[in-house]
């Protein structure tokens, strides 16, 4: 039992990093990680070996998906910040943040898990519950859309016949 808790504790920094990338808010990310830890510790009996890190990422991704669904039902209030109009050193970071915000949730999650967390395609496929080919497709589309956005172009529209 102590080793399970130690392994869970060892995943906390990676979970926090992933949650912060998903939510773009420190407090929300910390709440998400806490909920993930509570759920994992309560569900210890459901973990039957395998990669604990993948299991933890799956819990976090599912909790985030549920959070986003509940937020979608509420109106969004965005504060207007005077600093947004100013050009400064953080402009590039804002561009990347805006570009990530244009991605579909599944594409953004896959991209962050591979690029930020360094997970393999197979691990991401397990976390998202999809075939590995779907992960590869999501990554290719995410990278293409990010490149297009950062180069100032519009996302390409597909022709439907």
pLDDT in tens, 24-80: 899 999 999 999 999 999 988 888 878 889 999 999 999 999 988 887 777 656 666
Q: What is the CATH number of the domain that holds 4?
A: 1.10.1740.10
- pLDDT average, residue stretch 115-135: 91
- pLDDT average, residue stretch 110-123: 90
- pLDDT average, residue stretch 89-109: 78
- Read off the pTM: 0.61
Of 43-47, 131-135, 155-159, the least confident: 155-159
Indicate left, alpha or beta for 118 from its phi (over 0: left) and psi (-120 to 50: alpha).
left
Number of structural domains found in the chain:
2
83 domain-assigned: no
Last residue of a domain, one of 76, 99, 125: 76
Kindly state whether residues 60 and 3 are assigned to the same domain: yes
Kindly state whether residues 58 and 101 are assigned to the same domain: no
Kindly state whether residues 72 and 6 are assigned to the same domain: yes
Look up the domain containing 135 and give its range.
Answer: 89-155
Kindly state whether residues 125 and 71 are assigned to the same domain: no
In this prediction, residue 1 carries a pLDDT of 55
Q: Is the pLDDT of residue 89 over 50?
A: no
Of 50-64, 69-83, 90-104, 126-140, the least confident: 69-83
121 domain-assigned: yes
Last residue of a domain, one of 52, 76, 100: 76
Of 17-26, 46-55, 91-100, the least confident: 91-100
Mean pLDDT score of the chain, rounded to an integer? 83
In this prediction, residue 63 carries a pLDDT of 93
């Amino acid at each position: 039992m102590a080793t399970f808790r130690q392994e869970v504790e060892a995943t906390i920094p990676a979970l926090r990093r992933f949650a912060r990338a998903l939510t773009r808010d420190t407090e929300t990310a910390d709440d998400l990680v806490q909920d993930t830890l509570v759920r994992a510790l309560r569900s210890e009996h459901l973990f039957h070996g395998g990669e604990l890190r993948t299991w933890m990422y799956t819990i976090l991704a599912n909790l985030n998906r549920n959070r986003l669904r509940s937020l979608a039902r509420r109106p969004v209030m965005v504060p207007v910040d005077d600093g947004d109009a100013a050009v400064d050193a953080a402009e590039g970071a804002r561009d990347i943040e805006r570009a990530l915000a244009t991605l579909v949730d599944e594409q953004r999650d896959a991209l962050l898990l591979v690029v930020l967390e360094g997970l393999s395609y197979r691990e991401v496929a397990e976390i998202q519950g999809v075939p590995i080919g779907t992960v590869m497709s999501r990554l290719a589309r995410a990278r293409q859309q990010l490149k297009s956005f950062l180069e100032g172009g519009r996302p390409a529209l597909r022709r439907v016949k």
